[in-house]
Amino acid sequence: MSKSGFQDLPEQKVRIRIGEERRLAFNLQPLPHFGTLSIQGGPPGAQVVIDQVAAGTVQADGSFTAGNIAPGDHVVEVRKDRFNPKRIQKRVVAGTNVAITPAEAALEAVTGAVKITFTPADAAVILTKAGEAPIKVTSGNALNLPPGTYTLSARTADNMTRTSTVEIVAGQSKVLDLPLGPSGMALWDDPSGWKQDKGTYVRKGGDFVLYSASPTSGTFVFSAMLQKGHRLQWVVNYVDAQNYILFQMDENNFYRSVLRNGQKTDEAKFPFKNEKKSFHSIQIHISPTEIDHQIKAGDSWVALDKWSGTNLSGGKFGFYIPGGDQVALSSFNRYADLGAH
């Protein structure tokens, strides 16, 4: 039996004997006008859009079903934050289900690009993200990485290690240029004022003898000896002759004082026994909020003083060598912070 607008029914056979009456029931079902669309193994939480109209969300078990889909060609889009959207074209036939496979619904994470160039080339540079294996960085090579916060670590051949954070943003590119090598004696405001003497550099007088790097964010490493005078003296965050932070050492104590508009404040004195006429290896790390002094004791660096403040790296570093004082300097280097570029 058939009727326009209804599904055809299979024929029914019946035997009728003389004198009998038989009843046959034909339940006509209307032809379906719509189909369904389903996803199994999809990305949980992803939004499903059909023909630019939101149709629902993929469930936690990866399933999704949409009914009442008109027959014909449809564009299905699967979207999720931090992933590239996926567009899938499907033809729907009335009365049938169209299944989108897990492979079709799979999404690729949106990455960010970072290109890191560094010198010297023999430096060891790695990127690490919490819970993941370190990524070795080759100078000049671009990396495509999932978004997030990474720790950038760089170690040079002289074992100076510096770290910084790098934020990788989905869909964005970043270029970093890292001069990792130290800057030596050439950056003094008056390098000719230091006279070479048996592998050391000697300076007599000059009052404030300043290093030209500014801002000074980074690490200064040197060995120094006071050859003439009462105290070995150096300054950090030197703005002018009335504003700077003064550090001093004699054979008994380490001193710190802050000069603001020519007036001393925040004075501190720490007992520190040392030989006056000998070289002392000192490491000073300067950031905008902290000045950290360490001194070499044997093969180890030990804390000498750590002082916090604001705007500490805006001024210059230098030595204060008044009158007839004389300072000998060796192995002087400054390593710029990774975050300073």
Domains and CATH numbers, the chain: 35-105 (2.60.40.1120), 112-179 (2.60.40.1120), 185-340 (2.60.120.560)
pTM of this structure: 0.70
The Cα–Cα gap between 339 and 341 comes to: 6
User: How many other C-beta atoms lie within 10 A of the C-beta of residue 58?
Assistant: 21
Q: What is the pLDDT of residue 151?
A: 96
Q: What is the pLDDT of residue 340?
A: 41
DSSP state of 194: S
Which residue from 103, 125, 106 is spatially nearest to 114, judged by alpha carbons? 125
The Cα–Cα gap between 197 and 210 comes to: 20
Distance linking the first and last C-alpha atoms of the chain: 83
Question: By three-state DSSP, how is residue 13 classified?
Answer: coil
The Cα–Cα gap between 311 and 33 comes to: 73
Rounded mean pLDDT for each run of 10 residues along the chain, 341 residues in total? 59 71 65 83 96 96 93 95 91 92 92 93 94 94 93 93 92 91 93 93 97 92 96 97 97 95 93 86 96 93 94 96 96 85 40
Omega into 215 within 30° of 0, i.e. cis?
yes
Residue 301 CA: distances (Å) to CA of 181, 272, 293: 21, 15, 10
Question: By three-state DSSP, how is residue 196 classified?
Answer: strand
Q: What is the pLDDT of residue 312?
A: 96
The Cα–Cα gap between 36 and 27 comes to: 24
Q: What is the pLDDT of residue 2?
A: 58
Which residue from 123, 184, 116 is spatially nearest to 159, judged by alpha carbons? 123
Q: How many helices (H) and strands (E) does the chain have?
A: 1, 27
Tell me the residue length of the chain. 341
